[in-house]
Amino acid sequence: MKTIIYLLLIAVLTTSCAVVRPGEAAMKQKLGELDDKVATQGTIWYNPFTTRVVKESIQTLNLELLLSLPSKEGLSVASEISILYHLEVEKVPSILREIGPNYPSVITNVFRSAAADVCSQFFAKDMHSGRRADIEEEIKARMDGNLREQGIVIEAVLLKSIQLPAGLSRSIEQKLQAEQDAMRMEFILQTERLEAQRKIIEAEGTRDAQKILAEGLTPAIIKIRSIDAFRELARSNNSKVIITDGKTPYLISGEETMPQQ
């Protein structure tokens, strides 16, 4: 008999205790009335015959949507959207009372309205460019303004996998290709200009070197070099005939003549 009593007592205690894990908010609901006291972790004791424990996640949740967003020019842009949100701990009871456990559908409807208002102010190409962050931030601000008072905090709105209409996508690709071609042509022209400048500098250097060399060839220096050359020829063991005017072995009538052997 005692064993049966112990077993019944254990069963009652087991069914009268709820464990609240980290990231959860738990409240007692007695005879259909939800308690305002929220427990975030630990154990909750309750009467299983009149009361039950309701739990909701207070962690960051991800709501995935596949929607067509309107653009300023009237196009529909298919997009995959992620909405990151969480529930405020102290407002979880009011959320369950006023909205119910199906609050993600409310978030979806608020997003549809905010996205329609914001995206209609931007061109379709803006959703595929650097202005995507501006669109995301504006949608987030509008959603947060509508939902924060109710206890739903929007952390981020992310537009993913943007699919532009086929015609617009081709136009953007052609524009990007034209920009790439223009940049490549500008690079080629810049290279050619640099090469032309290099040739001009090289020609100027050659001209200046020849000018300096010509200015340094005075009659005295030419005579000394002619004497040195004549001496080198005299040291050679080969027989040779040198035609000269008696003054220099190379210069006859002011022009350079190679020695005859």
pLDDT the model gives residue 255: 44
- Same domain for 79 and 113? yes
- Across 14-25, average pLDDT: 81
pLDDT in tens, 201-231: 988 888 877 777 776 666 777 677 777 777 7
CA count, 13 A, side-chain hemisphere, 97 = 15
In the three-class reduction of DSSP (H, G, I as helix; E, B as strand; rest coil), residue 11 is classed as helix
Q: Confirm whether 9 is domain-assigned.
A: yes
- Same domain for 153 and 69? yes
Q: Confirm whether 86 is domain-assigned.
A: yes
- Same domain for 158 and 196? no
- Same domain for 52 and 65? no
Q: Confirm whether 158 is domain-assigned.
A: yes
- Same domain for 180 and 228? no
Domain boundary among 57, 76, 103: 57
- Same domain for 87 and 67? yes
- Same domain for 128 and 104? yes
CA count, 13 A, side-chain hemisphere, 87 = 25
Name the band, by pLDDT with cuts 50, 70 and 90, for residue 85. Answer: very high
Name the band, by pLDDT with cuts 50, 70 and 90, for residue 43. Answer: confident
- Which phi and psi angles does 217 have, rounded to 5°? -85, 75
- Same domain for 36 and 91? no
- Same domain for 65 and 109? yes
Q: Confirm whether 244 is domain-assigned.
A: yes
CA count, 13 A, side-chain hemisphere, 200 = 6
What's the length of the chain? 261
Q: Confirm whether 155 is domain-assigned.
A: yes
- Across 153-163, average pLDDT: 86
Domain count, the chain: 4
- Same domain for 66 and 159? yes
In the three-class reduction of DSSP (H, G, I as helix; E, B as strand; rest coil), residue 1 is classed as coil
Name the band, by pLDDT with cuts 50, 70 and 90, for residue 254. Answer: very low
Q: Confirm whether 261 is domain-assigned.
A: no
At a CB cut-off of 8 Å and minimum separation 6, what does 85 contact? Answer: 60, 61, 63, 107, 147, 152, 153, 154, 155
Range of the domain at 66: 61-164
- Same domain for 94 and 25? no
Question: Partners of 51 in the beta sheet?
Answer: 30
Nearest-angstrom CA–CA distance, 43 and 170: 60
DSSP sequence for 77-140: EEEEEEEEEEE-GGGHHHHHHHT-TTHHHHHHHHHHHHHHHHHTTS-GGGGGSTTHHHHHHHHH
Domain boundary among 11, 32, 57: 57
H/E run at residue 3:
helix 2-15
DSSP sequence for 44-65: EE--TTTEEEEEEE-S-EEEEE
Nearest-angstrom CA–CA distance, 231 and 222: 14
Fill in the amino acid letter for 213: L
8-12, 234-238, 246-250 — which is least confidently predicted?
A: 246-250
Fill in the amino acid letter for 125: K
- Same domain for 118 and 210? no
pLDDT the model gives residue 141: 92
Q: Confirm whether 10 is domain-assigned.
A: yes
Please report, for the domain that includes residue 107, its CATH number: 3.30.479.30
